Structure 1
Amino acid sequence: MSLPLPRTDVWWANQVAPADQPVTPTGWPALDAALPGGGWPLGAVVECTVPSAHALPWRLWQPALRAAAAQGPVVLIGLPLLPHAAVWAAHGIAPERLLRLTPDDDAQALWAAEQVLRCPDVAACWVHWRRPTGAAMRRLQLAAAASRRDATRPGAWPAPLVLASLDATRGLATSAAVLRLELLDSDADGVTVHVHKRRGPPLPGPLRLRAPLPLTRLTHPCADDDEKQNTDAPDTPVVRVPERLRLVGT
């Protein structure tokens, strides 16, 4: 017989922990069912390893990023690929909500993330590590836990969504992130992820998540690709994003 425990931060090893912090739905029902509280935790680091820097978890995080953009600015720090602003707009993420920072190294990326998370208006912060360390992840988790934003509006998030991605070849043996995932595959039919760490028992295997949207291409293959035809564009034409709103990077 399993008795309820008096603290929400302590749980039986064979059970998923009760949510002791706010969450937002992932947009993937099968993944929501596997996570404590039924979604991505807010005010805590969600870590995802990827096969390479050119296989970022855009599609995995896109539904939550769309929800975040409705709350406030979404800050992208150190991402090695250039976001395709027009396609993000077609996904419901207004380009004027996006801010892309290009630090020279992880030390600058961490400093930028800490400053961003002190801003009460920021709804989401996504950091991509080049050479991650356990110490940097701990500092990011501390900054996420201390972050708060304006939650006076009905439905407003009490804390931002904090995401961290890194190349699987530079993965960490241990991490302070509350939730750790690995992106195994992404194709026209959906994505496959493995939940390596959650507040609960290990999952028996990877989760296959069906694509919630028909659009799959969320980045330019190169910065000069604006004039090429986007074969993944929706049936409804997308108005070109004004030059002043286009995202650029080095």
Structure 2
Amino acid sequence: MSPAPLGLAGASPPVALTSPSQNTIAGAHATVHEPLAATVEAALWRGNQLGGLGAGVEPSGFAQLDVVLPGGGWPCAALTEVLVSQFSVVEFRLLASMMAAITQRGRTVALVGPTLWPHMPGLRHHGVDDRHLVWVDVDAPKDRLWSTEQLVKAGSCGAVIAWLPLVRAEQVRRLQVLAARCTGPVFLCRPESAARDSSAAPLRVVLRVATDWQIAVQVLKRKGSPVEGQLQLPSMPGGLNKIMTPRLRYPSRLVAVEPSHAVDSPVAAAVRQPEPVLEPSQS
């Protein structure tokens, strides 16, 4: 009697063959994942968290600002854009405390192409040691960019602050790549109108002059959730805090306000009285 063909009654059931890789994949779904290692967990950043920086930070000198900056200060080995409406008016008031801390440690702070001459007496009042301050006096946009690239690429400065009113997005991206070699923070001072453009800089702030010797700082971009509103930071120019009277510390209180109920003299009231309307005479 010949054996029954496959698929008919009495035939042996087929044996299912699985490859080792399939068995591994099938078993992986049943495996319970172990917690991440502490080093991996520390390096992992989630989008709803304020980013941390492995390269370190430089404190800004404003406790209120450090709270909202990733890592608690200005990021090192990275770009920070400072956007202003008018150059050389408030940038030094924001960065002077950081410059003082770096120069007092004997490290160099390089200024590339500031639009106005740095006021050294005022910077000394903030504690900046001018022996470690380098000013690169350049005007042409290509010279500003070239000087900034060379200083950032060298990586030997404690901080680099460059005024680049005309710079393209790809040039900012290149500076961000080069900034990884710099041990300190790198700042690009750009016009406020650049806030509408995209930028490779991981941190961008808009800086404005506020009342009562304050500066207003808006964190436009950071590694983490957005910052609502703006910060009002006390920033009196160096030296003035020693001679300023308590009354002049709040200029907004000195603005004259017109009283709602003023007592006028009869002469003043008569002057403001409307003239009578003369009707045409009847003939």
Relative to the length of structure 2, the TM-score reads 0.66
Give the equivalent residue in structure 1 for 2:187: 163
Letter in 2 for 1:37: G
Give the equivalent residue in structure 2 for 1:206: 230
Task: Output one character per residue of 1:53-108: Cα deviation in whole Å (capped at 9) or x when no partner.
Answer: 24341111111111121231111101101111122112111222221112232221
CA distance in 1, matches of 2:128, 2:213: 22
- SS at the partner of 1:75? strand
Higher helix share: 2
Give the equivalent residue in structure 2 for 1:27: 61
Matches within 5 A, 1:237-248: none
Give the equivalent residue in structure 2 for 1:183: 207
Letter in 2 for 1:102: D
Query: How many aligned residue pairs are there?
Result: 206
Give the equivalent residue in structure 1 for 2:111: 76
Larger Rg belongs to: 2
Give the equivalent residue in structure 1 for 2:165: 130
Structure 1 stretches of at least 4 aligned residues deviating more than 4 Å after TM superposition? 7-10
Contact 1:134/1:172 (<8 A) preserved:
no
Matches within 5 A, 1:217-236: 232=240, 234=242
Shift of 1:7: 6.0
Relative to the length of structure 1, the TM-score reads 0.74
- SS at the partner of 1:53? coil
Gaps of 5+ in 1: 148-158, 218-230, 236-250
Gaps of 5+ in 2: 1-34, 244-283
Contact 2:84/2:191 (<8 A) preserved:
yes
Give the equivalent residue in structure 2 for 1:139: 174
Shift of 1:170: 4.2
CA-atom RMSD in angstroms: 2.4
Shift of 1:168: 1.1
Task: Output one character per residue of 1:212-239: Cα deviation in whole Å (capped at 9) or x when no partner.
Answer: xx4x16xxxxxxxxxxxxx83845xxxx
Decide whether aligned partners of structure 1 residues 163 and 115 sit closer, same or farther in structure 2, where only a CA change above 3 A counts.
same
Give the equivalent residue in structure 1 for 2:124: 89
Decide whether aligned partners of structure 1 residues 54 and 160 sit closer, same or farther in structure 2, where only a CA change above 3 A counts.
closer
Task: Output one character per residue of 1:169-225: Cα deviation in whole Å (capped at 9) or x when no partner.
Answer: 3445111112100013244432111101110000121111223xx4x16xxxxxxxx
Give the equivalent residue in structure 2 for 1:117: 152
CA distance in 1, matches of 2:225, 2:241: 40
Contact 1:125/1:161 (<8 A) preserved:
yes
CA distance in 2, matches of 1:50, 1:83: 17
Letter in 2 for 1:79: P
Pair 1:14-2:14 in alignment:
no
Give the equivalent residue in structure 2 for 1:241: none
